[in-house]
Amino acid sequence: MKKRIIASIIALSVTAVGWLFGFEDKPVNSSKVFSEEKLPAKIESIQKEGMSPNHYINAYVVKVTDGDTFEITYKDQQERVRLLCVDTPETVAKGVEVQTYGKEASDFTKEKLLNQSVKLYFDKGLRDKYGRLLAYTVLQDDVFFNAVLIKYGYARVEIVYPNSSLKDYFFSLQEKALEEKIGFWGLPQGKQPFVLDKNGKYIARYRQ
């Protein structure tokens, strides 16, 4: 019994050292620590319903394309939606190989959103250049899904102007995920899907 306890202590010590010096490739399993992240008051204060800037709609998710893109039905219409302020590693982009941690992000979004009713909040800009709705997405239990993707290292922050109302909030979540090496930030730098460019901004590795 004593030998087993000593062996367990040694194993835990080796794992800790591996994380400390970057020897361990396995990232934090963030799906196990999924917790509440509530919508900031600045967006929650939106009270008008409708498909317009600074409004909200209740919709149903019928398809998840990848970690940050999905399709909904709303009043018998089908729309594509791009999550605001987040960018997950690519899995379906034409001409781009599946990025590291892309499948994990896509699977996580499918698990949380597919065949679920959600509430979509719109900022100042309603659509992107591809015609997709740009939205903050809230789950049935009031969890702010965009924030969860950043908080648990499934995505980097990407601000699409003029939708910058929560810019500081999202970057603070990213900084914490970086510091704590959560999700893909826990991978060795050479394996992370995003890298710093000359301006100090994280961009997809394939774009460097």
Name residues whose C-beta falls within 8 Å of residue 179's C-beta, 6 or more positions apart in sequence.
none
CA distance 158 to 201: 10
Angstrom distance (rounded) from CA 199 to CA 20: 28
Contact predicate 53/105, CB 8 Å: no
Q: Which of 37, 79, 104, 132 is catalytic?
A: 132
Catalytic pick among 82, 104, 156, 158: 82
Q: Could you confirm whether 132 is annotated as catalytic? A: yes
Q: 82 catalytic, yes or no?
A: yes
Please state, as a whole number, how many other Cβ atoms lie within 10 Å of the Cβ of residue 32: 7
Nearest 5°: the CA angle 109, 26, 114 is: 10
Question: How far is Cα of residue 129 from the mean position of the Cα atoms in its chain?
Answer: 21
Residue 163 near residue 134, CB atoms below 8 Å: yes
Q: Is residue 44 among the annotated active site residues?
A: no
From the list 37, 79, 90, 104, the catalytic residue is 90
d(CA 203, CA 149): 16
How far apart, in whole angstroms, are the C-alpha atoms of residue 108 and residue 203? 21
Q: Which phi and psi (to 5°) does residue 59 adopt?
A: -135, 175
**H or E element that contains 147:** helix 145-151
Question: Catalytic amino acids?
Answer: 82, 90, 132
